[in-house]
């Protein structure tokens, strides 16, 4: 199973501002659901900064960004 992640917006007071553009998308192997305190992996070679909040089932906030994700085949 693969996952698609999309950056929706910059977080307030990001640790690294303007690091990844809004609208950025990445597809890779699904590893595990987002978990507070850990990066969210897309495959094993791309990871977000640490998750700070789970906003909804498919949306979360990191130190830098707000992302939406979904499983795809």
**Looking at the 3D structure of the chain, how many domains does it have?**
1
What is the per-residue pLDDT for 69?
98
What is the per-residue pLDDT for 73?
85
Give 23's contacts (C-beta < 8 A, 6+ positions apart): 6, 7
Tens of pLDDT, residue by residue, the chain (73 residues):
999 999 999 998 888 888 899 999 999 999 999 999 999 999 999 999 999 999 999 999 999 999 999 999 8
CA distances from 14 to 8, 18, 23, 65, 72 (A): 14, 8, 17, 7, 29
What is the per-residue pLDDT for 64?
95
16: domain range?
A: 2-72
Output the CA angle 17-14-2, nearest 5 degrees.
90
- Report yes or no on whether pTM surpasses 0.85: yes
Alpha carbons 73 and 29: distance in angstroms, whole number: 10
How many other C-beta atoms can be found within 10 angstroms of the C-beta atom of residue 71?
11
């Amino acid at each position: 199973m693969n996952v698609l992640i999309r950056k929706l917006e910059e977080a307030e007071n990001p640790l690294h501002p303007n690091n990844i553009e809004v609208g950025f998308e990445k597809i890779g192997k699904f590893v595990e659901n987002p978990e507070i305190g850990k990066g969210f992996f897309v495959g094993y070679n791309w990871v977000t900064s640490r998750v700070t909040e789970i906003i909804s089932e498919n949306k979360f906030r990191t130190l830098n960004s707000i992302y939406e994700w979904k499983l795809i085949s």
